[in-house]
Amino acid sequence: MRYAVQEMNGYDLVVINCSGQMTPAYVLHCIKQNCIAVSGARGREYKPRQQRLVVFLKNLDLCYLDTWQCNAIVELLQQIVQRQGFYNVTDYTTAPTTTNSTAATAATTTTTSSNIADKAANNASSRSNRGSSNINNNNNLEWINVSGLQICGSISETTASATANATLLKIAPRYLAINHQVRIANPSPADMLTVLQHSLEPLLVGQSGSGRSAAHFKGFTSQTVQYIAEGLMDFSTKVCKQ
């Protein structure tokens, strides 16, 4: 992902490592930190500092699921992709009054049976306070438009089919339906051998040409590096089987 973004001009990359403790507020924080806020006819809008901003969420399946098996972060991403914006729920100008209403309700519960009418009135008052508090909070919600944002993510796939299906079920089908998906299989033994050989050659054999680094060890050839890579592959296979 980093290599692909570096090959394109005017693109910035933000990598977010997902975990069970991450919240949607942190995702919005990363977006705000890498964008500039402008005001226009549509209201406030976040634009990338360059042409586009790529937000890559690594291991999206590790995000926390609530009691209803809903992923709040995935729901936020779906809102951004479909509606090109999000609700700013952090900039409240008035605080909720649930604490005062709870205290009033607790005080009324200590009354005697002769004050049942007063207690009912206090309960009704507390409900009205909570209702007005919710109305105030809804009025303070601000819709923030987002442009030039590209969201990407990765899901860890295991070899066991049951575990792989359970991992995929952590992502809402509605979000998967509006995204392009690319499946990258695990590298084959031949691919791993090639990767090992190309990683060891600069260290053991060196790189030819002007400005290239010399070998850290002497007496190694490309054929020797191949033998070492094959030995490491055999050792890794035996360890995995145990």
- The pLDDT-based confidence of 173 (bands split at 50, 70, 90) is confident
What is the mean predicted confidence (pLDDT) over 226-235?
A: 87
Predicted TM-score of the model (pTM) = 0.62
Q: How many domains does one find in the chain?
A: 2
CB 56 within 8 A of CB 1: yes
What is the mean predicted confidence (pLDDT) over 140-156?
A: 88
Q: How far apart are CA 112 and CA 7, in angstroms?
A: 76
Q: How far apart are CA 213 and CA 41, in angstroms?
A: 57
Strands across the sheet with 11-17, in order? Answer: 11-17, 52-58, 149-153
For residue 132, which amino acid is it? S
Does any domain span residue 120?
A: no
Instruction: Count Cβ atoms below 10 Å from residue 48 Cβ, excluding itself.
Output: 22
Rg, the chain, Cα only: 28
Do residues 26 and 74 share a domain? yes
Position 17 scores a pLDDT of: 93
Q: How far apart are CA 104 and CA 106, in angstroms?
A: 5
Do residues 24 and 82 share a domain? yes
What is the mean predicted confidence (pLDDT) over 189-208?
A: 81
Q: Could you tell me the residue range of the domain that residue 22 belongs to? A: 1-92+139-178
